[in-house]
Amino acid sequence: METRSYRLRIWRQSARVKGRLVTYEIGDIAIDMSILETLDALNDQLIKKGDDPVAFDSDCREGICGMCGLVIDGIAHGPKQATTTCELRMRHFPSGATITIEPFRAAGFPILKDLAVDRSAFDRIMAAGGYVSINAGSAPDANAIPIGKDVADLAMDAAACIGCGACVAACPNASASLFVGAKVTQLALLPQGQAEADRRASRMVARMDLEGFGACSNHGECEAVCPKEISIKHIAKLRREYFKAVLSS
């Protein structure tokens, strides 16, 4: 299998300490390896030398969990559209290329170390209203609440959001509106989500503001880098749901 060599410029930083880009040379990288596997190889090299390995987040490595978000050459998740960081293969970079790898940067995503950031703000936004109230017990019959296919498809499109935070990293205002919009939309479209409909959007938006995320100014960068191609139309739906919630309160 073809192998290549690269120059990696990686952001190194400990919490609350000013960081910097550090350059590493690495070779014998198979072109089918992912960018995360390349970081693994680099860490093996650093550990053997007695150096501190690069900290970064990952879990499933299958483009599902949203943990692996990195800014690669200035683009959240890298240059290939509709692709998470863990799915980005080294064949997309020519041999000898210099690749700059940085963490997602936002007030709501404080850096823990190197490329790892704290995205627990998203969890707190979800806890503020991104849920459905149901009685515990056995699962209801699948057809107990008929839902039209067009509505179900729209809800599933919104539910495809994996909460990676690329939208925040790409937005010049570090807004989480696309994430919140997708989570509000998927519940607002379904009958199961109506119990909290009069307060869900207002509570989630309030929490988003409290966490330090900026306001949406319709740049569209969030939609451009989203690995699941979540539409910016969900932000419009969020705004409508927010206004309805405010008027009903």
Rounded distance between C-alpha atoms, residue 38 and residue 5, angstroms:
10
- Domain shared by 94 and 209, yes or no: no
Does residue 136 have a pLDDT over 70? no
| Count of structural domains within the chain | 2
- Domain shared by 187 and 161, yes or no: yes
- Domain shared by 146 and 82, yes or no: no
Whether residue 115 lies inside any domain: the answer is no
Whether residue 204 lies inside any domain: the answer is yes
Whether residue 107 lies inside any domain: the answer is no
Instruction: Give the model confidence (pLDDT) of 111-121 as tens digits.
Output: 999 999 999 99
- Domain shared by 141 and 228, yes or no: yes
What does 57-119 look like in DSSP terms, one character per residue? --S-SSSSS-TT--EETTEET-SSTT--GGG-BGGGS-TT-EEEEE---BTTB-EEETTEE--
Whether residue 112 lies inside any domain: the answer is no
Report, as an integer, the average pLDDT of 141-154: 84
CATH number of the domain at 239, please: 1.10.1060.10
Whether residue 200 lies inside any domain: the answer is yes
Task: Write out the residue range of the structural domain in which residue 214 sits.
Answer: 120-248
Report, as an integer, the average pLDDT of 176-202: 94
Report, as an integer, the average pLDDT of 6-13: 98
Two tokens, residue 28 = 């014998």
Instruction: Give the model confidence (pLDDT) of 86-104 as tens digits.
Output: 999 999 999 999 999 999 9
Instruction: Give the model confidence (pLDDT) of 29-71 as tens digits.
Output: 999 999 999 999 999 999 999 999 999 999 999 999 999 999 9
- Identify the bridge partners of residue 214 per DSSP, sorted by sequence position: 175
Q: HSE-up of 174 (CA within 13 Å, CB side)? A: 14
- Domain shared by 63 and 127, yes or no: no
